Each structure stands twice: as structure tokens, then as C-alpha cells.
């Protein structure tokens, strides 16, 4: 039996946003978002940084597992293709049953589909990130989501295998996505109202906290 752990944050947000768009009228009757339709997978203008498991099956492209990883041996996970990856240039990898994997901090570009490595990856065990405390986790900044709203969003997301993850905390429904430049959060605010959905991005712009 396998258990799930987070290895950072893999997949596009298209399915998530399409599903949520379908239930927008029930969340905010008579009101529609100012954005023309839900944003699809968003490309980053500059370089981004993420922490993740990189996994490659024999004969397949390596994948950047930004979401959950099954603690089996070898592990099981999926995500977008990571281009420019070279196992010979990194340390800390393991191999078993025609699968090679390791956990790394990676920097590169994100075009909405593929992550392309631009800097030498660093083993996650050696990576010392700057603390990134989400102020929305502070009890003093509690959100406005109630159990009914969470259950409605949970139902909308049920079976959406491309969603990185979602959970309730401190009055918010936290939704994890690969990358957001602010468009997804804006869309969620206009569909559900402010201080209900808190979008978190797995890939962060280089230089951002």
C-alpha cells in the first residue's frame, strides 16, 4: 500500500479552471468574471524556480513531479516534461525497475507545457530556501470560506486528476497550481468572491519570496 507525500508542486490548471468555470453561476448568481473565460495554462515571462521530484521511466522523457508522489519503490508520480535534463550532470539520483528519480531545486523557463532547465539543478537535501510564509495562514488574516463553499469546490474538483491539490485552512480553500502570474487568483476572486480561494503556485518567479 502506498501513501502520498508532497514533493513540491505537477500538471496544468486547465482542467481545474474549466470545471470551476462551469459552476461559477451557482457560486455568484448573476455575476460573471471580467476575464474572458478561465485562464488556461499560463507561461512565465521570466525564469522560475521550483522544488520537485524528477522522475524518468526507461524510454520516456523525464517528468517534473510538482504534485504528490507515491512512496513506493520506485516512486510513482507524473507531471510536465522537463527539457534539458541530464542525469550525468546531477547527484543524488536512484534507479530501480527501469525508473530513475531524485529530488531537486530546479531553475528554468516554463512555457505552459514544458519546463526547460537553464541553471545546474541542486539536490534538494542541499537546498536552503528563504522562508516563504503565506500570510493567509495567519489566524489574524482568516478567510471567508465556509464548509459549504469548501464542499462545493471539493465536489467540482473531484476526479480532476490534473489538479496539484486543494485543502481548507484558516477560512480559505487553498488550491495548488503549477504557475500563476495573478490571473488565476483574480479569476477565483471574481467567481467565488474575495478571501475564499487562495491560489498557490508551485513554480515561483526567480527573485520572488
Quick: pLDDT tens for 198-207: 999 999 999 8
Q: Note whether residue 194 is domain-resident.
A: yes
User: What is the model's pLDDT at position 153?
Assistant: 79
With a pLDDT cut of 90, the percent of the chain lying above it is 55
The residue from 65, 94, 126 where one domain ends is 126
Q: Examine the domain organization and report whether 97 and 56 are in the same domain.
A: yes
Q: Note whether residue 149 is domain-resident.
A: yes
Quick: pLDDT tens for 1-40: 444 444 443 333 344 444 444 444 444 433 566 655 455 6
Q: Note whether residue 12 is domain-resident.
A: no
The residue from 76, 98, 126 where one domain ends is 126
Rounded mean pLDDT, 184-191? 85
Alpha-carbon distance of 105 to 54, in angstroms, equals 10
- Alpha carbons within 13 A on the beta-carbon side of 207: 2
Range of the domain at 69: 48-126
Tell me which of 191 and 34 has the higher pLDDT: 191
Q: pTM for the full model?
A: 0.80
Rounded mean pLDDT, 150-163? 69
Tell me how many domains the chain contains. 2
* Contact indicator for 134, 111 with CB cutoff of 8 Å: no
Q: Examine the domain organization and report whether 35 and 76 are in the same domain.
A: no
Quick: pLDDT tens for 42-86: 899 999 999 999 999 999 999 999 999 999 999 999 999 999 999
Q: Note whether residue 10 is domain-resident.
A: no
The answer to whether residue 152 scores a pLDDT higher than 80 is: yes
The answer to whether residue 184 scores a pLDDT higher than 60 is: yes
For the stretch 137-153, what's the b/e string if a residue is b when 16 or more beta carbons lie within 10 angstroms of its beta carbon?
eeeeeebebeeebbebb
Q: Which three cell numbers stand for residue 120?
A: 545546474
* Contact indicator for 78, 61 with CB cutoff of 8 Å: no
Q: Examine the domain organization and report whether 176 and 138 are in the same domain.
A: yes
Amino acid at each position: 500500500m502506498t501513501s502520498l507525500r508532497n514533493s513540491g508542486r505537477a500538471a496544468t490548471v486547465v482542467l481545474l479552471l474549466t470545471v470551476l468555470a462551469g459552476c461559477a453561476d451557482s457560486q455568484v448568481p448573476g455575476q460573471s468574471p471580467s476575464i474572458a473565460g478561465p485562464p488556461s495554462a499560463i507561461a512565465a515571462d521570466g525564469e522560475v524556480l521550483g522544488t520537485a521530484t524528477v522522475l524518468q521511466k526507461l524510454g520516456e522523457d523525464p517528468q517534473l513531479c510538482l504534485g504528490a508522489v507515491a512512496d513506493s519503490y520506485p516512486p510513482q508520480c507524473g507531471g510536465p516534461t522537463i527539457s534539458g535534463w541530464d542525469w550525468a550532470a546531477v547527484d543524488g539520483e536512484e534507479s530501480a525497475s527501469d525508473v530513475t528519480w531524485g529530488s531537486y531545486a530546479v531553475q528554468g523557463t516554463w512555457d505552459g507545457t514544458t519546463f526547460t532547465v537553464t541553471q545546474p539543478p541542486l539536490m534538494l537535501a542541499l537546498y536552503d530556501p528563504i522562508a516563504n510564509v503565506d500570510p493567509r495562514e495567519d489566524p489574524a488574516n482568516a478567510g471567508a470560506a465556509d464548509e459549504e463553499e469548501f464542499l462545493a469546490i471539493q465536489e467540482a474538483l473531484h476526479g480532476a486528476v490534473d489538479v496539484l491539490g486543494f485543502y481548507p485552512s484558516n477560512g480559505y480553500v487553498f488550491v495548488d497550481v503549477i504557475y500563476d502570474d495573478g490571473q488565476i487568483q483574480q479569476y477565483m476572486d471574481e467567481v467565488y468572491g474575495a478571501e475564499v480561494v487562495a491560489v498557490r503556485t508551485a513554480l515561483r518567479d526567480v527573485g520572488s519570496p
